[in-house]
Every structure is written in structure tokens, then in C-alpha cells.
Copies of this chain bind each other. A is one copy, B any other.
Amino acid sequence: MAVRKVYGSLNSPATLKVLACLFEHDLDFEFVPVNMDAGDHKKKPFLSMNPFGQVPVFEDGGIKQFESRAIIRSTSHEYGKKGEELIYWDVRKQAIVANWIDVEGHQFEPPALKLIYEMVIKPKNGSAPDQVVVAEAEAELGNVLDVYEARLAKSKYLGSDRYTIADVLHLPNLQSLLGTTAKKLIESRPRVKAWCSEILARPAWGKVLEMKDKARA
């Protein structure tokens, strides 16, 4: 049997999203680290898998797929466990999940990544966060989380009362934000705080963190 492979980096939120999804589905796979510090994602042979030079790439049964959200959608459709799928086959229910998948990509992630860049990545590289950028991005993220707080009064998770990929997609950036001053934006909103604690406690996400710990050791 061909081995499933994830080519990616444990420093890439997109890679971590895909790993969290595969662990939810109890799928066997091999993780192939791509050295992004050496720019290997912008060189051959990686470019033959993803001409846009971005991780991760997912290889399964001869098909090589890129774009993390697309990988997550299709693995969830293909491998979802009966009754605990991360998607719905019902078109109307999936419409709502699809809505919140795109909200993550277009509303939540842009300010989240700005904050993580300023407060996690820059300090690691020895430079100081730009406090003007931080303040603006915190205000932007706060507005998004206000919408989430209202939404979570209507359903247990973002897309429905069931855990779906709309939630999975938030894991890596929520985890990183909790290590910054933006933590207050999450903790000051009770429903967002409870949702965040619950999804970060999923065993599948625990396995991703374990992989990161092992790689660091």
C-alpha cells in the first residue's frame, strides 16, 4: 500500500491544521519535514508538488494536493468516521460550515497572523514588536471575536453543534495567540474562552503538540 505523506513544517500553521485533521481521522501517514529556513519549499523538487512553493503538500494514492483548507475538506469527506464527520453530507448543513470555514480564512486568520508575527516570530529573531501594528490587529481580532461570541450563543461550535473543520482550522493560531498579550481577547469573552479550551483539549490536537515537542527535543 502506498504510504500517505504530509510534506510540511511544524512551524507552519497550515501544516499543523492538516496534521490535526489527519489525527482526528486516525489516519496513518508519514511526516516529511521541509526545511523552510533553507528555502527548500521554494526549490525543486518541492516546486514540482506545489508550484506556489507553500507547505503543506498531502500525498495520498498518487494524488498530491496542496492548499491546506482543500486538503482538510477532501480528507474529511474521504475519511470521516460515520456520525463524527468533520463535515456534513447534507448540503444545507454543510453550507453553514462552509460559511465559517471561509470566515476563518478571511476574517480570523489575517489579524491572528499579524499578531503572531509581531509577538512570537519577531522576538524570536531578536526584534521588537511594532506596538502600533499590534494595537490595530488586536482591535481587528477583537471585532471578529465579538461575532464569534454571539455565534457561540447559538451553536456549540462555530459551524454547528458538532465539532467540524471550521473549528479545526483555528487550532494552531489560537494556540499561538494564547502565548501572547492577545490572550486577553480570548479570555475576556466567556463563550470564546470555553470554545477555545475545549477544542485545544482534543486528543488529536494533543498529538500535534506532541510531534512539535519531540521535534524540539
Question: Which A residues form the contact surface with B (CB < 8 A)?
Answer: 51-52, 61, 63, 65-67, 69-71, 73-74, 77-78, 91-92, 94-96, 98-99, 101-103, 105-107, 144, 147, 150-151
Q: Which 7 residue pairs are nearest across A and B when measured between Cβ atoms?
A: A74-B95, A67-B102, A70-B98, A51-B147, A70-B99, A78-B91, A77-B91
A67 B106 Cβ-Cβ under 8 A = yes
CB-CB under 8 A for A99 and B150, given A91-B74, A91-B77: no
Closest to A66 in B: B99
B70 A107 Cβ-Cβ under 8 A = no
Integer count of this chain's copies in the complex: 2
B102 A63 Cβ-Cβ under 8 A = no
Contacting residue for A92 out of B63, B102, B107, B144, CB 8 A: B63
Whole-angstrom distance from the CB of A121 to the nearest CB of chain B? 20
Q: How far apart sit A52 and B141, CA to CA, in the bound complex (Å)?
A: 12
B51 A102 Cβ-Cβ under 8 A = no
